[in-house]
Structure 1
């Protein structure tokens, strides 16, 4: 019986995630260009013809059109269906990890913000304030809801609210400090201001403990990626690279496995005697 429920539920959740991924593609393309993310409806970026509803079906629409515009036959980037599919998979992972709960709905939103910010930073080296600030506010509201709903407890609301605020402030201060000391050490700008704002948003959602883990993971992954790129001669020493995707990846790892990682760390280095 559980299997009979799980399969259709998974299909529905994947379809929902893929649809959100389709909207993320719109946000990633239009927001940096200062275009409305709502109007006009989806259209070909080459000939500007509005897409038909069945052409705009996530993942499948691209396959039906064989990766080309119905009208002008221009190529449509494969990134569009890939982002849609990844978002659908992420939605499934959140559902499997947090079951049917308010956490699932909240973390769907959090992961969507992270994905949109990562792609924009990868494309433009910019983390838009519209997304980091709205994501931070949404994270604080999420913490309040999580704290209040189980027992309609005002003390729980305040506890979670303060946890979100502390996490946001720590994220902002920590990465601002890294940017300042990095600039002094290297004699040039070491990190953009958007990274600190993204870290603040992450702290609002994750709290200070998981934020620190996410930040550590992001720095480690960024250093490994940067070193590998230099070794492979794909980048020169000192060349800028977007850090937002590494922050987002660190946040995702902390979200899904952070508690287990922290518990293992404590057992390893602070064993109970």
Structure 2
């Protein structure tokens, strides 16, 4: 019975995540295009025919259509079901690692923002202010909810909120400094303003300590992937590369396993402590 219940809960959470991923596909496409998220309803981007109920079902809709529009038979990008599946798996990851219901729901929201921002940056080399600013505000709300969930205490709430504010300010300053040093070293703009705003969002959710960890992971990933792409000739040294996806991946890893990563690092390099 326990196995069946666990399996049912996992299935429900995966379906919830895939459904959120379906909405994120709309966000990723429409916000950079300046379109409403609510109107018109989901439609084929080629023939603009409104999709039916079964065509809108996450994952199975794409499989049922065999990756093509039912009406004009134009191919439907495989990224749509991949985003839905990935979001479902991320929701499961949070379910398995979250210590409280508030943390679980909060990190579901954080990862949803990160998925949308990462893919928008990958597509357009921009990080929309509407998403970074709203994510920052919700992150500060998450800090309040976390403290409140552990028993209402004004001092604890103030402390938690201040931790989010300090993390946001540190994220903004840290990425601005990195961007300035990178621009001086390369002789051209190294990062867009959106990257520092995304880092501020991360700081609001994660706090200053885990923001520093996420920033280190993002820089390491960016240097490794960017250096490898340049060495292989896939990327020109002067060609812009979006940094938002690396920040998003690092923030996701930190949200899920930040304490484990930090403990392993401290035990490796500072065993006495």
**Corresponding residue for 2:105?**
105
Matched, 1:133 2:133: yes
In structure 2, relative to structure 1, the CA distance for the partners of 1:99 and 1:213 (3 Å cut) is: closer
**Corresponding residue for 1:84?**
84
Distance 2:270 2:60 in 1: 51
Contact 2:176/2:196, CA 8 A, preserved across alignment:
yes
Normalising by structure 2, we get a TM-score of 0.98
How far did 1:265 drift? 1.9
How far did 1:237 drift? 1.1
The 5-angstrom pairing of residues 200-219 of structure 1 reads 200-219=200-219
Q: Secondary structure at the match of 2:189?
A: coil
How far did 1:128 drift? 0.3
**Corresponding residue for 2:149?**
149
Q: Secondary structure at the match of 1:32?
A: helix
Matched, 1:58 2:85: no
**Corresponding residue for 1:262?**
262
Distance 2:269 2:86 in 1: 36
Matched, 1:4 2:4: yes
Q: Secondary structure at the match of 2:33?
A: coil
Distance 1:220 1:99 in 2: 28
Distance 1:236 1:272 in 2: 45
The 5-angstrom pairing of residues 33-72 of structure 1 reads 33-72=33-72
Distance 1:238 1:183 in 2: 12
**Corresponding residue for 1:169?**
169
How far did 1:99 drift? 5.5
Q: Secondary structure at the match of 1:210?
A: helix
Aligned residues: 273
Q: What's the CA shift string for 1:24-69, capped at 9, x where partnerless?
A: 0000000000000111110000000100011100000000000011
Normalising by structure 1, we get a TM-score of 0.98
Distance 1:258 1:55 in 2: 38
Distance 2:2 2:165 in 1: 39
Q: CA RMSD in A?
A: 1.1
